Amino acid sequence: MTKIDLEAVTAALDTLPKKYPGPGGVAGVMQDGKVIAARAWGYANLDTAQPMTAGTRLPICSISKQFTCQVLLATVGDPARLDAKVGSFLPAFTGVLPTTRQLCDNQSGLRDYWALTVLQGAFAEQPFRREDALPLIARMKTGHFPPGSQYSYCNCNFRIVSEMIEAETGATLDALYRKHVWEPAGMKTAVLTADTRHPEDGVVGYEGSDGTGFFPAENAIFWIGDAGISASLSDMLAYEGWIDATRNDENSLYRRASVPPTFKDGIPAAYGFGIDRETIAGLDCTGHGGALRGFRAHRKNARAARLSVVVMFNHEADAHGAVQYLIEAAMGHKPGVEVPIPDGWDGQWIGPNGLLTRLESGRNHADLHHSGGADRLVLAADGTLAAPGVVLARGPQGVTMARADDNTHATLTPLAVLDSADGAAIAGNYHSDELGAELEIVARGGGVYARFTGLLGAGRMERMAPAGPDVWTVATRRSMDAPAPGDWTLVVTRDGKGQVGGLTLGCWLARGVVYRRA
């Protein structure tokens, strides 16, 4: 039996309200199928002083994906049985269609539909109905990459899977969750709350920070399959107990869903059936996180150590960081000594898929901006900069970036830094055949702004800033999904005479969207 430092776990739990300040939260730690420590602090609603408790149901958001995949295994069995149905959701797609398993493993290559809502003109707070999703997905004509070759997080993968499950079984997803997972696991109060306008138990999610203050988050999206489940800490700990109780049963749903996946080329993948894999404090862990504006959640299970941790906040603190903090406390893990980053690393490049890639060094670490969030790199013994799943190296050909989790390796193209550029040269109207949507760029008094118009309306004016020659960023700080796409990379394309003919726009979740000048 793995020895757990219970005193350290208790002390770490006591520090969570200060370490991750906000309105309220819950956290629990289990070993050998039993709860060894748990906390609930703060308030589910600050205005009414409603306490946060272990029984308060919170949105678990994308943690729902693994429940959807377990229902798929329980009802359909082999995901390949549904492969012929995928094409009906992508009638305009021109490439090789992904398989159902590739949808479940985030290897489809499809662009994330929550990121695409921005390009289709959506406001963050406007309603997104169940019937809005499939028409948006149906417009997709191309993907990021050939299915099975790489990893890219994509919520609509699971929306398609959930629609196929319901059509195949004739049952609703919430009834299937209850029959195959919630009841067997003893999750007595878990429910499907597909409409985010009405969280369970009167709980309120809060945006903001300890510096700005906290204010109620406004959500109005309908999601199912990719997210939607609400559960209490008691429910989630019951789920962890079920996982532990069935850990040695190769036919159990979680054991089947957590079998390590591979890419099409046979290389091991870190994500499959809605479950990710990472090493924390020397333990191989499986789990997932979840995010909605105003809420954050994360869970991890280390099967060999029979250790599970769950953290949920009704604010936007780092739930993954909190889970890691508790696992490290349980294992008595002490972080390694970070050494200073040598000079000469900082810079910016155009990375894989045309995305702006920036490195900013601190004293003992460097922040790499490329995907949805910054990767914190430290100096490795071989002179590279590394983080879990990411390695940055310098060689004769320049800087290379390997992202094992994405199954990519590329030499980065240096990009000179520009602090100012003539926005009037790119101002005008653009059309995307891929999306069937429009983009207007406006230059006003030195400022440059973009507005997206499409299936969901005409969006806000978003700030643009020059990054390098013919490269701009478009800032999206709030969107329907959370976290927002952040900075999009906009690359201008010119004809043989140097005239602007179009542009390519992308973020980590939705890359390579081509626009032509109208």
The CA distance from 431 to 178, in Å, is 45
Of the residues 34, 64, 65, 149, only one is catalytic, namely 65
What distances in angstroms separate CA 25 from CA 119, 178, 206, 364, 372, one per listed residue? 34, 25, 12, 31, 24
Pairing label, strands 447-454, 375-379? unpaired
241: left (phi over 0), alpha (psi -120 to 50) or beta: alpha
Tokens of residue 45, six digits: 């609603």
Amino acid at 279: T
**Beta-carbon neighbour count of residue 55 at 10 Å?**
14
Of the residues 62, 258, 308, 361, only one is catalytic, namely 62
- 307 with 30: CB under 8 angstroms? yes
Asked if 62 is an active-site residue, the reply is: yes
* Half-sphere exposure at residue 510, Cβ-oriented, CA atoms within 13 angstroms: 27
The conformation of residue 221, written as its DSSP 8-state character, comes to B
What distances in angstroms separate CA 481 from CA 218, 367, 439, 467, 491, one per listed residue? 11, 24, 21, 26, 25
Query: If you count DSSP H runs as helices and E runs as strands, how many of each does the chain have, helices first?
Result: 11, 31
- 182 with 230: CB under 8 angstroms? no
Rounded to a whole number, what is the distance in angstroms from the first to the last CA of the chain?
66
Which residues are marked as active site? Answer: 62, 65
